[in-house]
Amino acid sequence: MEAANGLLRECQEEPFQWHMSIQPSDYPDRTLALTEEEHGEIEYLLSLSSARYLEFERQATLLRRVTQPLMDVLALFQQRRPKSRVFRHLFMKYLLAQVLTTNTLYWEWSSSIFSIIRGKVA
């Protein structure tokens, strides 16, 4: 019993240190504007049907600067909500369509845009 009380005291003395699992600094190239090549590659990726998922994955890999942060956020989301039915290609297509619509990467999006997106995706 004394060991449990000691552990409880230790836990109470140490404040909980929460930190975000994903940091913007994890992605060194956060250039906001898309290159013409990236724009074209996103358009091509968006044109792919769900049946062409292997081509989708290949294309997403080519767009790593744009897609990796999205894939990491989705992986974190699915880790926290394992019963979620958010499909990777639909999630990516929706967000990449928003990238093309706003003509800027998500690093520059306002909190209101993220709120709208979160409501539609989650």
**CA Rg value for the chain:** 19
Split into its structural domains, the chain has a count of 1
Query: Considering the chain, what is the average pLDDT of its residues?
Result: 82
How confident is the model over 69-122, as pLDDT tens digits?
999 988 888 887 777 777 888 888 999 999 999 888 988 888 888 788 777 766
First to last CA, the chain: 44
**Better-predicted residue by pLDDT, 75 or 11:** 75
Q: What is the DSSP string of 63-106?
A: THHHHHHHHHHHHHHHHH-TT----HHHHHHHHHHHHHHHTS-G
Residue 95 domain boundaries? 2-121
**pTM higher than 0.85, yes or no?**
no
Rounded distance, CA 70 to CA 74, Å? 6
How confident is the model over 21-39, as pLDDT tens digits?
788 889 999 999 999 999 9
